[in-house]
Amino acid sequence: MNLELSGPLGHGFELPREVHRLGLVALGETVSRLIPLIGQIGQSRAGVTLFTDLPLPRMPTLLEAYPLASLLEALDWPDFLAVDLPLQELAELRNMLGLLEGIRLTCPAQVLVTTSMPCAGLAQCGVCAVPARRGWKLACEDGPVFDLHQLKW
């Protein structure tokens, strides 16, 4: 039997080395896609905070968890923000963060956009198109993790 494997598809999170306060925002189906980022910080003095209303699995002791409603109060705390959300919620992200049009976050941010990829990442169907400041980007080829400020949100 022949087995053909493909992947990984696209690009993942790229945390800057100088991150000391990592904010995680889980708006999708699970928090599990953000948990591996905790190990990338690797500093005992670093702080990691997860904002979500989703059920929580067993968590590393380094991680603090708060409901999404507390994100607005703490938005100036992280020096990097990682967000996981479905494509259909991208347009609502600005409202969730309490930012007016034209106002940017005070820290760098990346967003994992979850969307269907029926072409299995071959970048031929366009179903996974994400609105960008300059046209469209494909989650299967250009993402699924994007710099938040490159996207139209």
Could you list the pLDDT tens digit for every one of the 153 residues in the chain?
887 766 556 789 999 888 999 999 999 899 999 988 988 876 666 789 999 999 988 887 778 999 999 999 999 999 999 999 999 999 899 888 888 887 788 899 999 999 988 877 677 788 889 999 999 999 988 989 999 999 998
Q: Is residue 143 part of a domain?
A: yes
Long-range contacts of 43-46 (CB under 8 A, 24+ apart): 45/20, 46/19, 46/20, 46/21, 46/22
Residue 61's CATH number: 3.40.50
* Residue 8 domain-assigned (yes or no): no
| Cis peptide bond upstream of 144, omega within 30 | yes
- On whether residue 31 sits in a domain, the answer given is yes
The answer as to whether 14 is a domain residue is no
User: Total structural domains in the chain?
Assistant: 1
Q: Is 39 exposed, middle or buried (0-12, 13-18, 19+ CB in 10 A)?
A: exposed
* Residue 97 contacts residue 75 (beta carbons within 8 Å): yes
Q: Could you tell me if 71 and 13 are in contact, meaning their C-beta atoms sit under 8 angstroms apart?
A: no
With b for 16 or more beta-carbon neighbours within 10 A and e for fewer, the 121-137 pattern comes to beeeeeebbbebeeeeb
Rounded to two decimals, what is the model's pTM? Answer: 0.88
